[in-house]
Structure 1
Amino acid sequence: MSASGERRLLKILHIDPERNWGGGEAQVLGLLTYLAKQGHRQYLLAHPQGQLWPRAQDSNVSLIPMIARNDLAVRPAWAIRRLIQRENFDIVHLHTKRAHALAAWFAAGSRRAKFVVTRRMDYPEKSSARARWLYNRGADGVVAISQKIADLLRDAGVEERKIRVVYSGIEPARFRRPRLGSTPVGAIVGTVAVLEERKGLRYLIEAAAQLREQGLPIEYRIAGAGPLSAELQELARRLGVADRVQFCGFVSDPAAFLAELDIFVMPSLFEGLGVAALEAMAAGKPVVASKVGGLAESVLDGETGLLVEPGDAAALADAILQLLQAPERAAGMGRRGAARVEQRFSLDQMARTNEAFYYELLAQS
């Protein structure tokens, strides 16, 4: 804050060395775009072949290449240390686990910058000692994208005063799309997810098999790519639902995909918040989701969707069936979900809260 009471513009370094595009990278891009509009001077350390790099080029951000092959990549860490010493940043924001792991090598290189870490996953910390060292000594502030993550960090020994809950956000207007395809004979149930174990997609396929036994004409669409693609397709064949389950691969326009669904399902085993569920809610879809992580904070059970225990295909099938048998109830959930996202989970709100946290940390010095 300046003597005149106006907030001074900040010099901010963002670090996200991941190659793939995920919910976290979408949040980083949204934050970059918002902060650029506020006039802050920003730098982004990112993988030059990563999917965030080309998208960030339109955000008025200075791009710096960074390749870190693992958490012990000492050479790029020393280069970052020199950069921090030279540029005198106000804020260094570490957006991924890999970036945070490297911070121990370069955090001591700044006498001015405040280090902020964003924690997006709801995995419990395996070592409380490691958590205390990484978060209490290697960070001035910790952004948790859900209260569940904040609780896990606190339980691992992270100082509560350092933690701020900042929910991930989306642009709700992007997902208000009419259904363009012809009206299907039956219902369409779908999801958007990386095809990996923690997303629990095998339980959706098992639920599809259980519902088929009841003779219900349901089509299932799974959008996304990942290491379990072949295994999940084989499971669908083995359970006799390969003709009902469509693997759509990566979709470049998730809003158009969501517009065609009747019910969105997120059967995750772990989930920081569930941005895909927020997008489905913004599209006016009722959500069936696992009662894990931040999903229990974004999806209100009985109000905007139904929550089930993780790893329970029978419960998943029952929840889908409940909504199919009560279309007016499902439609009401969709409307309430869209209103909830508009009120609590906008991209601008996420970015504004991060910005306010930056100023709060700087005021402590």
Structure 2
Amino acid sequence: MQPKCICFFNSNKAWGGGEKWHFENALLARDKGYRVCVVANRVSALADRLDVQPGIDVLRLNIHNLTFLNPLKLMRLVCFFRKHAVNAVLMALPSDMKAGGIAAKLAGVRDIIYRRGIAVPVRNSALNRLLFRHVLTKLIVNSLNTRDCVLAENKRLIDPERIHLVFCGFNVAAYDALPVHTIFERRPGEILIGNAARLTPQKGQKLLIDIAALLKEQPIPFRILIAGIGELEKELKAYAIDRGVEDVVQFLGFVSDMKSFHETIDIFALTSLWEGFGLAQVEAMESRRPVVTWNVSSMPEVVIDGETGYLCPSQDTEAFAARLLALMQDEALRKRLGENGRARVISHFEMQKTFADLEHCLQA
């Protein structure tokens, strides 16, 4: 009897967290003996990386929001699913759910699964009700907060028993094996606070600059290192000057070596207004760095207040600064919370554990 075939369906063109999830789990599935195929867009960073991987057949097809109305493309997908005898299809985007879900239904695929990785409500439209109730067999969410957002406009959009929680996985062994390089010179006695995220309104770096202004009133030397690029770069740099903290807030631009970044800093500060999961927190915790963030969205599912870091009332910059200050003043506290954070990553977010959760979903 041939092994089950899993089709990973992701038509996003750029590389991001969802593409990383599909890439890593496709390789894990292949290595565990599953047959694996992939549907991606014609222009696709995910497909580019998978093309060089042995044992994975990639179909490149232009997919957009109205592709589900194109019978020729639907039939091409149906033929692809039947050719590979696909048992389960895992879809990434709403456009994938429409085109891929309907084609999988026509092809007789047993499991038609939508993975939701963003904590944004699903519109309570007639089409979504049809898809969630009569096309999808299961829904995977990356956090309980994402689940709640999916159901925000319609609690009965999908049977709760068909919703499966699968956290984003983290390859601890591969991360540990990476070398560490000096990417920033520390001044004598200073504490380094890190933030890694796109420079966008959602990521809340403007609040971090306000926090820097509060910390600057204290006698402890520090600098905040912000890794990332984005639409607000010029605005944030100007705001740092306006607040008089340009000497303690350093914009590093795009940083490819995130392990060296996390090994360089002492504390990780995540000021995002919301996150579907927040992989940056997990990377920091794996490097034994305590995390300070807001008590919103999925943050409490990752950070345990007082054990692996601190959760602060949303956008309360004074509370956030106070938590950072407590960690800046106490090296033993930083070490204890950091060790707890790494232990939590291994017990909850290690990739073999999360892939086992995915397998459980496929077998349910």
**What TM-score, normalized by structure 2, do the two folds share?**
0.88
Provide the residue aligned with 1:26 in structure 2: 20
SS of structure 1 residue aligned to 2:310: strand
**Which residue identity lines up with residue 341 of structure 1 in the other structure?**
V
1:139 lines up with 2:136 in the alignment: yes
Equivalent-residue separation in structure 1 for 2:42 and 2:228 (angstroms) = 23
Cα RMSD after superposing both structures: 2.5
1:357 to 358, 361, 364: 361
Q: Percent identity?
A: 28
After TM superposition, list the pairs within 5 Å mapping 1:180-259 onto structure 2: 180=182, 183-185=186-188, 186-259=190-263
Equivalent residue for 1:42? 36
Q: Could you say which residue in structure 1 is the equivalent of 2:90?
A: 93
CA contact (8 A) 2:4 2:34 kept: yes
Task: Within 5 Å, give how 1:142-181 maps onto structure 2.
Answer: 142-154=139-151, 156=154, 157=156, 158-176=158-176, 180=182
The answer to whether the 8 A contact 1:174-1:255 is kept is no
Measure, in 2, the Cα distance between the counterparts of 1:315 and 1:193.
21
Partner letter of residue 92 of structure 2? Answer: H
Q: Are the structure 2 counterparts of residues 322 and 356 from structure 1 closer, same or farther at C-alpha, using a change threshold of 3 Å?
A: same
Q: In the alignment, which residue of structure 2 is the partner of 1:66?
A: 61
Equivalences for 1:337-352 in 2 at 5 Å?
A: 337-352=341-356
Give, as a single letter, the amino acid of the residue that structure 1 aligns with 2:261: F
Distance of 1:43 and 1:241 partners within structure 2: 51
Q: Which letter does structure 2 place at the counterpart of 1:62?
A: D
**Residues 317-358 of structure 1: CA distance to partner in whole angstroms, max 9, x if unpaired?**
122112112221111000010011011101122222212312
Pair 1:30–1:235, CA change in 2 (3 A): same
Cα drift, residue 301 of structure 1: 0.3
Q: Deviations over 1:95-125 (max 9, x none)?
A: 2344235446535422234211111122234
Asked whether the equivalents of residues 101 and 112 of structure 2 are also in contact (C-alpha less than 8 Å), the reply is no
1:77 positional shift? 7.8
Q: Which moved more, 1:118-127 or 1:101-110?
A: 101-110
For residues 181 and 330 of structure 2, what CA distance do their matches in structure 1 show? 20
Code of the residue aligned with 1:218 in structure 2: it is F
Q: Which has the higher contact order (CA 8 A, sep 6+)?
A: 1
Seen in structure 2, the aligned counterparts of structure 1 residues 125 and 319 have a Cα distance that, compared at 3 Å, is farther
Q: Return the alpha-carbon distance in structure 2 between the equivalents of residues 153 and 117 of structure 1.
A: 12
Query: Amino acid of the residue matched to residue 278 of structure 2?
Result: G
* Paired AA for residue 294 in structure 1: S
Distance across 2 between alignment mates of 1:86 and 1:175: 35
1:110 aligns with 2:107: yes
Aligned CA distance change for structure 1 residues 50 and 132 (closer, same or farther; 3 Å): same
In 2 relative to 1, CA 313–167 (structure 1 residues): closer, same or farther, beyond 3 Å? same
SS in 2 for 1:236: helix
Gapped runs of 5+ residues in structure 1? 3-7, 361-365
* 3-state SS of paired residue (1:184): coil
Q: Distance in 2 between matches of 1:102 and 1:292?
A: 33
Residue 178 of structure 1: how far off its partner (Å): 6.1
For 1:339 and 1:101, the matched residues in 2 are separated by: 39
> 2-side partners of 1:290 and 1:81: how far apart?
47
CA separation of 1:253 and 1:217: change in aligned 2, threshold 3 A:
same
Give the counterpart letter for 1:219 in structure 2: R
- Distance across 2 between alignment mates of 1:99 and 1:291: 32
Tell me what 2:306 maps to: 302
- Structure 2 residue 316 is the aligned partner of structure 1 residue 319: no
State the SS of the aligned residue for 2:169.
Answer: coil
d(CA) in 2 for partners of 1:125, 1:86: 28
Take 1:63 and 1:29, find their aligned partners in 2: how far apart are those partners?
Answer: 12
Alpha carbons of 1:318 and 1:226: their partners in 2 closer, same or farther (altered >3 Å)?
A: same
Q: CA deviation at 1:167?
A: 0.9
